Chains A and B, each alone.
Chain A
């Protein structure tokens, strides 16, 4: 069965806070700033919002965000689990709520003090929930307790299987930072970055070095999603959700699916991709640009393979041929990605994918962007979406 969501939900507003290393304000303050920016961008009032979707990891209760903004009644609130895997899952929730009439206008938000507050790089030893703790307990005693270390374990095996080298990891790290250098909102704005700096940076978890890792950031991002009927009356050109899917694959763990017959892969994203293509009636050749979740450089490569831009093990050549660059086959992470704009758990990626379709990215490709792909974090249950111009 193919889900019937194409063109049922439209992104009409986007908003980011300033990204920083020390916001000096609460996460709730960041959340309401981001949501307000998205509401203003759409030309709506807070009371037009009747639904909310965010991450289970987000500390900002929907009712607190609603009360601070003066939203009033909410008839839909749904949360998505699994860290950065929730990025497009929130869009998935919003789309389902709107397509079924449970809500008319839903805001997707995520706000965190990811640098000055709880840092993911600190590992999972701290404030985690009990159910998760049993799972992390298989890794913590051995010291395998940070996101970089889990991704390193997959990367080592994937590089061994495919022969892909750090040249490809560098190309992901470099291409996104070149974009970031040209994005005033990015941490890397105006910053030079080259191979020598990449190679000289400290090792985090072999083979991942510092510049293979994303920015730990304070900030918030939000997008407003509504019906096509409502979207037509609003001030921004509508950006339709053409397909959106989530998937947890067989034998899945959060970041540690080491028990599959071959664990150097992301079968959950392959399923999500197949479903998104089916819903949208599009194929890989229709995708003009992408925002691919980049907590770490190698995970971009695996996703290029999962979405069919190239075969297993071919993403190294695909990127080193310049595919991710502005005139390449697939301009990718044109905001600078989470490697160099900011790490807002992928929701700043939905903001950028919307900009790409609107034609307003700081690094807008010269070719027309009719369809943009945006994805969630991998290694966990994940998903993705294809966005396009509203008819």
Chain B
């Protein structure tokens, strides 16, 4: 893309920032029990605050509420959208991107904020604007721009109940490697596993079996981690191992905020832990808020199945009562 082309598209797309996609529009139906019940059922959400009128009557709210995440549901258009929509700022923006070759589209994230609850009988009004458009970005999908819409939800009293930001990448599609068309099952990402070679395979296999081992020199008894083929103290290549009690102390820690990697659960805290046996181990701290993790904190580890493929030691604050 030449500088001229870039200037041309940017002069058009940035003009959309701030434009209204939908003026404030009251939902066709009030918040109602039937829709809440169906939504909760499909989501598998059995919270009685949403669906159990008797329970709710005796609760602090004295009535059921709509799941906050449903706020976007109330303003959804009906079956008539299959016959097309009237153009609006967003569809015009999208066709501008398409015209310049940015035909790829990828919804990247949705962020909702909640300020007030609504209950059956209330009515939700939605207003949407195009809030911002990024600078030109090189992404894994191709070169493109992120645009973000901001929806604001209010009740019949004009009070704000929540907002929703929806970010979309419009990009010039790159030639993708041949799609794995033969894969018939959904591939859910798991944590990235360590490769296993001669010197570390035994450690990870023990981990799979629910144990954290520490390599021990058979000649001088020195413990070492991570494992390696020779003892740095006496040069012996004979070794066995001991099992750690997983009692430990935090030497340092960091909460990983960015980038978030598929297959990992956030908030995510990593720490260097001094085990009671004397060697250090890097692992996750769980069972408390990230802000509660401190250097010097005593922790207790347990092997946990993190996902379909991953067993790892996870450390809880000692005596928290949370560790199984």
Contacts and interface: CB of A to CB of B under 8 A. Distances in A.
Interface of A: 21-22, 115-116, 121-123, 125, 130, 133-146, 149, 152-154, 156-157, 160, 202-207, 256, 258-259, 263-264
Given A153-B253, A205-B257, A259-B280, A137 B312 contact: no
Given A137-B200, A153-B272, A204-B258, 4 more contacts: A134-B197, A134-B200, A137-B193, A141-B193
A142 B270 CA distance: 7
B75 to A, nearest CB: 30
Nearest to B260: A143
Given A134-B194, A141-B193, A206 B290 contact: yes
B168 interface: no
B191 A123 contact: no
B138 A157 contact: no
Contacts of B193: 137, 140-141
B261 interface: yes
A360 B252 CA distance: 42
A141 B254 CA distance: 15
Contact of B312 (A142, A145, A204, A259): A142
Contact of B279 (A142, A152, A206, A259): A259
Contact of B295 (A22, A139, A156, A204): A156
A202 B256 CA distance: 12
A355 B271 CA distance: 41
Given A115-B138, A134-B199, A145-B261, A140 B194 contact: yes
Nearest to B195: A133
Contact of B195 (A134, A146, A156): A134
B252 A264 contact: yes
Question: Which of A136, A141, A156, A205 neighbours the largest number of chain B CB atoms within 10 Å of its CB?
Answer: A141
Nearest to B200: A134
28 contacts: A22-B143, A116-B138, A130-B195, A134-B194, A134-B199, A135-B226, A137-B204, A138-B194, A139-B282, A141-B192, A142-B270, A143-B256, A143-B264, A143-B270, A144-B256, A149-B256, A153-B253, A153-B272, A157-B272, A157-B295, A202-B257, A202-B258, A203-B257, A205-B254, A205-B257, A256-B282, A258-B280, A263-B272
- Chain B interface size band reads 35 or more
B90 interface: no
Contacts of A123: 259, 261
Nearest to B203: A138
A141 B256 contact: no
A206 B253 CA distance: 8
B318 interface: no
Interface string B72-91: 00000000000000000000
B283 interface: yes
B195 A121 contact: no
Nearest to B284: A142
B251 A263 contact: yes
B257 A206 contact: yes
Contacts of B194: 133-134, 136-138, 140-141
Contact of B257 (A134, A135, A156, A204): A204
Interface string B123-155: 000000000000000100001000000000000
A121 B257 CA distance: 12
B61 interface: no
Contact of B259 (A121, A130, A153, A160): A121
A142 B282 contact: yes
Contacts of B191: 140-143
Question: Which of B200, B204, B268, B270 neighbours the largest number of chain A CB atoms within 10 Å of its CB?
Answer: B270
B289 to A, nearest CB: 12
A138 B226 contact: yes
A140 B192 contact: yes
A145 B194 CA distance: 12
Interface in B197-215: 197, 199-200, 204
Contacts of B282: 138-139, 142, 144, 256, 258
B219 interface: no
Nearest to A210: B258
B225 interface: yes
A298 B253 CA distance: 16
B9 to A, nearest CB: 15
Question: Which of A133, A135, A149, A263 neighbours the largest number of chain B CB atoms within 10 Å of its CB?
Answer: A149
A207 B257 CA distance: 10
A82 B143 CA distance: 31
B272 A203 contact: no
A156 B258 CA distance: 17
> Which 3 residue pairs of A and B lie closest in terms of their CB atoms, listed nearest first?
A137-B194, A157-B252, A152-B254
Question: Which of A21, A136, A205 neighbours the largest number of chain B CB atoms within 10 Å of its CB?
Answer: A205
Interface string B267-288: 0101010000001101110000
